[in-house]
Structure 1
Amino acid sequence: MAHQSPLIAIPRKTTNDVDWATPIRAIIANSYGESPSSYTEECSVLQRCRQDAVKGAGSDATARDLLYKYFGQLELLELRFSEMKVPFAWTDAFTLKSTTQTSLAFEKASIIHVLAAVLSSLASAGSRADGEGIKRSYFNSRASAGMLTYINDNFLHAPSNDLSREVVQLLIGIMMAQATEIFTEKLISEKKAPALVCRSANQVAGMYSTVVDDMKEFQGKGIFDRNWLSVLQTKAKLFASVAQYYRSTGDSAAGKHGMAVVRMKLADSLAQEAQRSAGQFQYSFVSTATPTLPHDAATSLFEICKAHASLCAEAKIQVNKDNDLIYHDMLPSEASLQSLEKLPPAAPITIQEVYSNQEVSKLIGPDIFARLVPMAVHESASMYSEEKAKLVRAEVERVDLSEGEIRATLEHLGLPALLTSWRRLANDDEEGEGDVEISGQLRRLAQDIQSGAPLDSLLRQLNSEREKCERDLRELNGMLDSESRECERMRVKYTPQFTQSPSGSRTAHYRNTITANLESLTAAASTDQQVSALWREIQPQIGVLSGGEAQLRQTAQQVASGQAPPSTPQGASLLDLQDEEIPSKSGLSEAEKDELKVMASQAQEKLDRLGKIRKERDDVLRDLKEKIQNDDVSSLLLLNRRSQDVEPQLFASELEKFRPYQGRIGAAISASQEALKDLSEIIDNVSQGNGVRQRQRGQKERQKRIRDWERSLERTGEQYSEVRAGAGKGLSYYESLTVVINDLSREVREYIRSRDSERNKMVAEIETRQRISGGSTGSDSRGLDSSMAGLSISRSPYASPPPPPPSAGSSGYPSLTPTSLPTPPGHSSTPHFPPPPPPPAPAKSPSNPYDFSSLGNLPSAFSTSSHQPSQPPPLHSSYSSSSSSSNPYPTPSAPHSGYTSPPPHSSYPPPPPARNPSANYYPPPSSTPQRQTSGSYPSYQPPPQQSHYQPPPQTSYQPPHQPQSQYAPPPPQTTYQPPSQPQYQPPSQQYQPPPNHPGSRPQYHPPSQHQPPYPSYAPPPSRQQYGQQQQQQQQYGQGGYQYR
C-alpha cells in the first residue's frame, strides 16, 4: 500500500454564544424607523446560523458549507448594520487565549480563519489516490490560502496572534507549498516529462525551505507546534532530492552523462538526509499531541523518504556504471552545476472566486433581512430603473416606428383589399363589385344616432321652456305695475293722510332682476336659433345615419356607383356627387389571369410572413419588458455599497443581459422592411398590365367616392354632437332660470301681499278718522277727489323720499347683467311673446281719473311752511323718458295711467353668430334680491317748517331738454295739520328730515366701489326708472343725502 504524504492542517478557533436580537432590534427602531417585533424571526434565523457554523459541525464538508452560509449572511448584515456593537469572544487557535471585541470585522476575520482551517483539514484528510481526490485536495489547499490572504489584505490590526500578519503569511506559505506538492505528486503519478517534474519539485523544495526559515523566527514563542518544523524540514530535503533525481534522469537522456552522475550523487545525498530527518520525526512524533497532522504522519513520511532514498541509490550505481563502462564522461564539480529552474506556483483561490460559484450562492440562500433596504441602495436602484426605462423606451420607439411604416405602406399599396380585387379579376367575379365596406367608426356613429333621443323633441322643449320663462317674467312685471298704480291712486284719494311710501324705489331691485333676465333670454333665444339652424342644415344627412346600417349600406352602394343618395337633392349632394361614366370593363386574357393568380398567391405569402414577423417582434418586446420589470439588482448594489464609482460599470454589465432581446427586435424590423419591399415589387409588376391597370383605376375612383362620403358623414356626426350638446346646455340654463323665477315670484308676491295689507289698514284708519271728524271733511274730500281727477301721477312733483336700497349682503337675488354674452338687440318684444295691449278704459269715466293737471295750484301736502315757497327740484337726465320706445321688453300699461315701463339704458346691437352652438352661450340667470325683512315699510314724515329743499350745486351734470314745461312750485300755503286722533305709526324706522338751512347739509360724494350702498341712497340707472313717478322721487334723492 502506497503511503500518502502528510499535510499540515490549520487549528480552529473557538467562540462563545452571542446575542444578536438586542442590538439588531435597537438599530431597526432607531435607524430604520420600523417595528422591531416584525423582525423577530429574522433574528432567530441569524442566531441559529451562527451556532451551526461555529459549534454544530466538525471539519468536514458540512462544516464548510455552514461557514460559507454564515459568512455570506455576515457580509449582508454588515451592509445594513455597520454600526452595530455585539461582544464577540474568540479563542486564539495557537495560544488558546480569549479575545473579545464588538466589531463585526473581528467576527468576519475569525470566521474566515475558521473556514481556512476547515479547508486545510479537508485537504489533509482527503484521499489522493485518484484524480478527483487530488483535485479536491489541490483546490482546498489553494482556497485555504486565499481565505488567509483575504484576512491579511482587509484586516490590519490583529487582536490575536493567529490573526497577525506574520502568522497568517506563514500559514499562506504552508498552504501554497502543500498545494504545489499535491500538483507535483500528480505529475509524478502521470509520468510527465522529467524536466517538468524537476521544475515543480524544485519549486516545492524552495517553498518549504522559505517556510522553515520563517518558522525558525517563532521558535520559543509557543505559537507553532515543533512537529510542523520537522515535517517541513524533511519535505524540503525530500523534494530537493526529487528535483535532482529527475534532472539527472533528464541529463542522461540528453547525453550529459557526467552531469547526470554528479546530480544523481547529489540526489542520493539529499535523500539520505531526508530519511534520517524522517526517522528522527518518527521517533518523537505523538499523534494525540499534534491533532493538526494525520495520525500516521511520521510513518508515512519515513516510508516515502526511505523509498525515495533506495531509488536514488540504485540509480546512482547504474549511472556510475554506465559512465565508467560506456560513456567515460568527465564529472563536473557540484559547484559548477547549473541551478535548477522552478515552475511558477499557482495563485491562491480568492474568496470572491469561491463565492462566485453558483453552488456556494445557493448555500448562502436569500438575505435574512431582505426587507430592510438602506436609502442609498434605494437611490442607486432608482438610477438603474431609469437606465432600464431608457432602454425600454428606445425599443418601444423603434417598434412603433416600424409598425407605423408597415401600416402606412400597406395602406398606400391598398393591401390586403387589393389581393381580393386581384382574385375577383382573375376569376371574372363581378358580383362583388357592388359590396361596399363601411368603416367601423361610421357604423358606430349610425348606431349612436339611432339609439339616441330625437333632437326635434329636445328643440321643441327648448322653445317651450324659453317661452314659459318669458311669460312668467312679464307676469311679475305686470303685478308690480298694478301694485304701484293702486298705491298712487290711494295716495291721490286720501292725501295727505295717506303716508304709505311709493313703491318705485322699493321694487327697483325686482325690476332690475326681471329686466336682466329678459335680456338674458334674448341672448339665449339667439343661441337657440343658431342651434335650430344647424339642425335644419344637417337633417338630411342625419336621416341617412338614423336609418340603420342597412340604409347606410344601400346609400354607400349608390355613392360607390357614382349616383347621389336618394335623400340628397339634385345639385346639392353631400360631396357634389353626380353621375359619372364608369370606365368600361374589359376582361383579361387567360395568360393574364394565370399570371395574376400567381402574383396574388406570392403577395399573400409575403403578407402572411409580414404578419408573423410583426407578431414575433411584439412578443420579443413583451418578453423584454417583463424581464426588465422583474430585474432587481438591489442585492448587487448592496454588496457593492462600499465601492466608489461602481454604479456605471455595474449598470453597464447588468444591461448587457438585455442585448439579445434588442438584437432580435432589430432583426425583426429588418425582415419586415424586406417583406414590404417585396410586396411593392409584386404590386408594381402587376400594375404594368393594361387590363389590370384599367380595372384598378375604376376601383380607386370608387374607393375615393366612398372615402369622401364617409368623411362628410363624420363631419355631420360632429355637428350632430354639437347640436345635442347645445340643446342640453340650453335646457340646463332654462331649468336654472326657472328656479330663479320661482324664487323671484315668491318674493314679489310676498311683497305685494304685505303692501296690500299695509295699504288697506291705512285706508281703513283714514276713512275711520274722516267719519269721526264730521261731514265737512267728507265734503272737502269729495271736492278734492273731483278736483284731482285730471291730475296725472306722472307729473306730480311730490313724492316721498325713496328708502335706502338694501345692502349687497342682504340681497338674495342681485341684479346680474350678462357680461360674457353678446349684447341682445333692442326690440319691443321677443318674437314669441309681444306685449299685451292695454285694456280698454272704463266706460263710466270719459277722462283719466288720475290726471291732476288742473290742480296745479293746490297746496302741497308735504309742505311744512305757509310763508316760504318751495323751490322746484331740478329734473335729471337719469330719469328721462326719451328712449322709452327702444325697450326690448316693455311692460304692459294699466288703463288710463301715466305709468310706463322703464326705458333701457342703451340700445343693444345684435349678438354675433355663434361658431360653436355647443359652447355655453346661455348667460347665468339673474338672482332675485331678497325682500326686506322688516315687518312693514317706512313712511315719509313731512319736513319741519321754515325749511326749503335746495339741491347741492351740480357742477358736472346738465339736465336734458324737457319738451314739456317744468312744474311750477305751488303757492305758499299752510301745511295741512292732521286731526288730533291717533295716527298710524309704521313699525319700521322713520326717515329724519333734512337740515333746516342749506349751508349745513352734507355735500354729495360718489360712493366708493368698496363701500356698500346702504345707507346712502343713489339714484338707480336709467333702465330702473318707471315713468314720471321716478321723477317725483328724484326730488328727494338727487343729491345723495343721508337719511337716518
Structure 2
Amino acid sequence: MEAVPRLPMLSFPVKLTTKPVDFGECLKRYIQLHYHEDPESYNNEITELESLRRSAVNASTDFIGCSSLKKYYCQLHYLISRFPPEELGSKLQNSAFDQSVSESGDINYEMNNILYNIATLHTILGAADARTSPDGMKISCTHFQCASWAFQVLSQNSKGEGDFNPLLITFMTHLALSQAQECILEKSMTDNRKPNIIAKVAMQVVDYLRLTLKNLESFRKSSTSAVSLVWQRHCDFKIAYYLAVTYYHQGLQSEEQQKMGERIAFYQASVEKLEEALKVSKTMEKAKVIGEALTFANDVIRGKLTGAQKENEFVYHEKIPPFSSLPEVKGASLVKGISFSFTDPEVAGPDIFSRLVPIEAHQASSLYSEEKAKLLRRITGEIQEKDEELEMYLASMQLDSFAFEENYDNLPQELVDACADLNSRDAFKGLQEIIDNISGYYNDLERKIKETEELIKEEESSEKEFCLVIGTKRAPNQILTEQKREIIKYKEAHEAALASNQALQNAIAQHKENLILLSKPLNLLMESLPSVAGVESEADKATRMEVQRLLGKVHEMQMQRSEFENKLRSDLQNDDITKQLVLNHEDPEAFFKEELSKHNHMVSILEQNMSAQSNILQALSESNAAYGAMRRTINQVKSQRAGSISFLLASYNAFINILQKAEEAKEFYTKLETQVNKVNSRVKSFHDVQEEERKAKLVANVKKLGGNIKLDL
C-alpha cells in the first residue's frame, strides 16, 4: 500500500476585497489628540501600513503571499493596541461563498478576514503539493496544521459574526486536521511502519473526518451553498476509503499474530468499505485520480484476501469470526494546530508604529521591573545564605590543608634546578677549593705582614745600635713611623678577616652534608626525603578519593551557582516587555506571571543547586571524618618533607652565598695584599737607604777620630 496514488485534498478559496482603505485621517487625528505628537511625522508609517494591506489583500498563492498576510495580521494587532478599533474606518469584504457584501465598522472584522485568508491559503498550498516525496508530505502536513490553528483562532475571535458561521469554521478546522493526519498516514505507509501503528493513524483520519462531517451536516441545514455537497461527498468517500485502509492493516497485524481466521474477516471488511468508497467516488470530481487510487488499493486488498482464503482453506482451517466480534482500534492523533506569534519579528517584521508607546505600557513596564527585582532579591538572598553557610563550613573543616594531589613525592622545580646547578659545578670539590683558596690567601698575607714587621724591627734595631755607636740620639723617622702605622692597620684588617674566614668555614661545614646530598642523583635524593608513598591503605585511598570527589562537587556547585546567578541577573536585566505590553494590557498581573515564567527554568536550576548543598556537605563531613586519622598522618609526613626540602634549599642558597663571600674574600685579600706589598717594598727601600746612610756616617766619624778604629761594615 506504500505506493498507492495520493488522493486529492480539499482547499478553500480566499476572500477578496474591492475597496481600498485610507488609514491616514483617523490615525493622524488620534496621534495628535492622544499622543500629542506631530501626526505628519508618521506619514511614512501610515504609507507603509497601507502598502502592506495592499500586499496582503492581493497576496500571491505561495509562501511569500502567506508571509504578507501574516505580517499584515500582526501589524493590525500592533495597531489596535495603540488605536481603539472604533477610531479606525470601516472595512468592506466580499464573501468567497455567496458573493454577497458584508460591512463592519470594527477593524476586528478586517483582522478576521485576514486570518481567514491565512488559513485558506495554507489549505491551498497544502493541497497543491503532490506529496510524492517525504519533504512534500511534511510540507503539506505543516500547511494543514497551520490552517487548523488559524481556523480555530478565527472561530474564537469571530463569535459567529458576519459570514463566519461557527459550524463552517469548525468544519474547516477538523478538515484541516484530518488532512494533516492523512499526510502522516501516507508517510507511515511509505516508511513501512508496523501494521498496528498504521491502523491507528488511519483510524484517527476517520475520526477527524467523522467530526468534520458532523459539523458539515449541521452547517448544510442552515446554508444553501452548493459547495457543501461536494465537501460532504469528499468526507463520505474518505471515511469509507480510510476505514478500508484501517481494516487492511488490522488484517496484516492479525497475520503477524498468526490469527489466520481473524485476518480474513478484516480483509473482507476492508473490501466492503472499498466498494462503498467506489460508489461514492462516481459522483465526485477528479474521478481519474481517485479511480487510480481505488484500483491500486483494490488489487492489493483483494489479492491479500484471496491468498488468505486459500491458505485458510488448505492449511489453517480456522473459523472466520463475525466482524462484530473483531477488536476495535483506537485512533492515534499525531497532529495539532501550529501557531505563529503575533510579536515574532521574523513573522511580523518591525513594528511599524514602534515610536508610539502608550503611557499605560510604560507604567506597566515599571511594575514588571519591580516584579523582576523582587524575584532577583529573593533568589540572591537565598544564594547569599547558602554561600555564607558553605564558607563557614569549609573554614571549620580546614580542608584547604587536605592533600589531594596524586604526585605527592614529586620534587619542586626549584629543588630540581638546585640539584642540576650543584651537579654542573661539582659542589663538593668546589667547597674544598674555596676552603683551600681562602686559607692560602690568609697564610700568604700573614707571611708578608710578618716579613714587613721583621724589616721594621730590623730597621729600628739598626738605628738604635747606630745611635749608641756615635753617641747621639736621633728622632724617629717619620717615614718609618708612617709605614709601621700602615702595617699595623693592615694586620688588624687581616686578623679581623680571620673571623670572617672562620664563619665561612663554619657555614661550609654546616651545609656540607646537605650539599653533598643535593649533588647526588635525583632518585637518591628522593629516597632520602620523608615520603607519603605507601602510608595509605587501599581503604584509606578510596576514602580520600571520595573526599576529593565531594570537594570537586562543592567547587562545581559553587561555579555553577555563580554562573547561573549571573545568567539569571542578565536575563532579567535584558527582559524588556514594553513592546509586548502594548499588545497585552487587559490583565497585567496574569501577563507578568506568564512573562516571569520564562525565567522559571533558571530559577529552578538555582534552587536545585542550593538544595543539593546540604546533601553534599553531609556526605563530605562523613567521608572527611573517616579519613581523619590518615589525614593527620599524611599532613605530618608532608610537613616533615616540606621542612627537609626547605632545609635543602636553604643549604643551596647558603652555598650560592658562600661562593659570593669567597669571591668577596678573594677580592679583599687581593687588595690587602697589594697594600701590604707596597708597605713591604717601601720599608725595604727605606731600610736599605738608612743602612747606606749609617755606614757613610760611621766611616766619616772614624776618619775624624784618627782612623785607628776598625769598623765592621
Q: What range is the shorter-chain TM-score in? A: 0.5 to 0.7
Consecutive unaligned residues in structure 1, runs of 5 or more? 286-296, 406-422, 424-586, 593-616, 667-680, 691-1044
The answer as to whether partners of 1:73 and 1:367 remain within 8 angstroms in 2 is: yes
TM-score using structure 2 length: 0.56
C-alpha distance in structure 1 between counterparts of 2:36 and 2:244, whole Å: 68
The answer as to whether partners of 2:170 and 2:215 remain within 8 angstroms in 1 is: no
Describe how 1:633-644 pairs up with structure 2 within 5 A: 633-644=577-588
In structure 2, the partner of 1:164 is 165
1:152 paired with 2:151, answer no
C-alpha distance in structure 2 between counterparts of 1:619 and 1:176, whole Å: 44
TM-score using structure 1 length: 0.39
The answer as to whether partners of 1:80 and 1:372 remain within 8 angstroms in 2 is: yes
In structure 2, the partner of 1:322 is 311
Give the 3 Å change call, closer, same or farther, for CA 146–394 of structure 1 in structure 2: closer
1:232 paired residue among 224, 232, 235: 235
C-alpha distance in structure 2 between counterparts of 1:335 and 1:190, whole Å: 31
Describe how 1:418-817 pairs up with structure 2 within 5 A: 631-650=575-594, 652-653=596-597
In structure 2, the partner of 1:4 is 6
The answer as to whether partners of 1:29 and 1:36 remain within 8 angstroms in 2 is: yes
- Read off the aligned partner of 1:65 and give its amino acid letter: S
Show CA shifts across 1:128-155 (max 9, x none).
1121111111111111111111112233
The answer as to whether partners of 2:168 and 2:215 remain within 8 angstroms in 1 is: no
C-alpha distance in structure 2 between counterparts of 1:656 and 1:185, whole Å: 40
Show CA shifts across 1:686-744 (max 9, x none).
9xx99xxxxxxxxxxxxxxxxxxxxxxxxxxxxxxxxxxxxxxxxxxxxxxxxxxxxxx
1:348 paired with 2:349, answer no
1:243 paired residue among 235, 243, 246: 246
C-alpha distance in structure 2 between counterparts of 1:196 and 1:111, whole Å: 38
- Read off the aligned partner of 2:82 and give its amino acid letter: R
In structure 2, the partner of 1:68 is 70
- Read off the aligned partner of 1:167 and give its amino acid letter: L
Show CA shifts across 1:626-670 (max 9, x none).
87766532123223322342254246346669879999xx9xxxx
- Read off the aligned partner of 1:75 and give its amino acid letter: H
C-alpha distance in structure 2 between counterparts of 1:227 and 1:632, whole Å: 51
In structure 2, the partner of 1:703 is none
C-alpha distance in structure 1 between counterparts of 2:572 and 2:588, whole Å: 25
The answer as to whether partners of 2:27 and 2:88 remain within 8 angstroms in 1 is: no
Larger RCO: 1 or 2 (CA < 8 Å, sep 6+): 2
Give the 3 Å change call, closer, same or farther, for CA 93–342 of structure 1 in structure 2: farther
In structure 2, the partner of 1:215 is 216
Deviation at 1:46, TM superposition (A): 0.8
User: What secondary structure sits across from 1:632 in the alignment?
Assistant: coil
C-alpha distance in structure 2 between counterparts of 1:144 and 1:130, whole Å: 21
In structure 2, the partner of 1:20 is 23
Deviation at 1:373, TM superposition (A): 0.9
- Read off the aligned partner of 2:360 and give its amino acid letter: A
In structure 1, the partner of 2:196 is 195
The answer as to whether partners of 1:278 and 1:305 remain within 8 angstroms in 2 is: no
C-alpha distance in structure 2 between counterparts of 1:660 and 1:237, whole Å: 51
2:267 paired residue among 256, 264, 268: 264
User: What secondary structure sits across from 1:109 in the alignment?
Assistant: helix
- Read off the aligned partner of 1:642 and give its amino acid letter: E
- Read off the aligned partner of 1:68 and give its amino acid letter: K
In structure 2, the partner of 1:35 is 38
Q: Choose 1 or 2 for highest CA Rg.
A: 1
The answer as to whether partners of 1:271 and 1:312 remain within 8 angstroms in 2 is: no
User: What secondary structure sits across from 1:355 in the alignment?
Assistant: coil
Deviation at 1:183, TM superposition (A): 1.2
C-alpha distance in structure 2 between counterparts of 1:313 and 1:187, whole Å: 22
2:90 paired residue among 56, 77, 87: 87
Show CA shifts across 1:335-354 (max 9, x none).
3334x212232353243xx2
Give the 3 Å change call, closer, same or farther, for CA 346–640 of structure 1 in structure 2: farther
Report the identity percentage: 22
1:336 paired residue among 325, 331, 355: 325
The answer as to whether partners of 2:181 and 2:335 remain within 8 angstroms in 1 is: no
1:304 paired with 2:290, answer no
C-alpha distance in structure 1 between counterparts of 2:277 and 2:188, whole Å: 21
Give the 3 Å change call, closer, same or farther, for CA 657–376 of structure 1 in structure 2: farther
C-alpha distance in structure 1 between counterparts of 2:283 and 2:584, whole Å: 53
Give the 3 Å change call, closer, same or farther, for CA 39–198 of structure 1 in structure 2: same
The answer as to whether partners of 1:392 and 1:625 remain within 8 angstroms in 2 is: no
User: What secondary structure sits across from 1:268 in the alignment?
Assistant: helix
Q: Quick check: which one's helix share is greater? A: 2
Deviation at 1:245, TM superposition (A): 1.3
- Read off the aligned partner of 2:209 and give its amino acid letter: Y
Describe how 1:927-946 pairs up with structure 2 within 5 A: none
C-alpha distance in structure 1 between counterparts of 2:189 and 2:378, whole Å: 61
C-alpha distance in structure 2 between counterparts of 1:197 and 1:127, whole Å: 21
C-alpha distance in structure 2 between counterparts of 1:361 and 1:319, whole Å: 59
C-alpha distance in structure 2 between counterparts of 1:383 and 1:61, whole Å: 40
Bigger mean CA offset, 297-306 vs 318-327: 297-306
C-alpha distance in structure 2 between counterparts of 1:117 and 1:332, whole Å: 46
1:139 paired with 2:142, answer yes
Give the 3 Å change call, closer, same or farther, for CA 195–621 of structure 1 in structure 2: closer
- Read off the aligned partner of 1:88 and give its amino acid letter: K
C-alpha distance in structure 2 between counterparts of 1:658 and 1:356, whole Å: 26
| Paired residue total | 452
User: What secondary structure sits across from 1:280 in the alignment?
Assistant: coil
Deviation at 1:212, TM superposition (A): 3.1
The answer as to whether partners of 1:275 and 1:306 remain within 8 angstroms in 2 is: no
C-alpha distance in structure 2 between counterparts of 1:126 and 1:228, whole Å: 20
Give the 3 Å change call, closer, same or farther, for CA 307–382 of structure 1 in structure 2: same
User: What secondary structure sits across from 1:335 in the alignment?
Assistant: helix
Bigger mean CA offset, 36-45 vs 297-306: 297-306
Show CA shifts across 1:518-552 (max 9, x none).
xxxxxxxxxxxxxxxxxxxxxxxxxxxxxxxxxxx
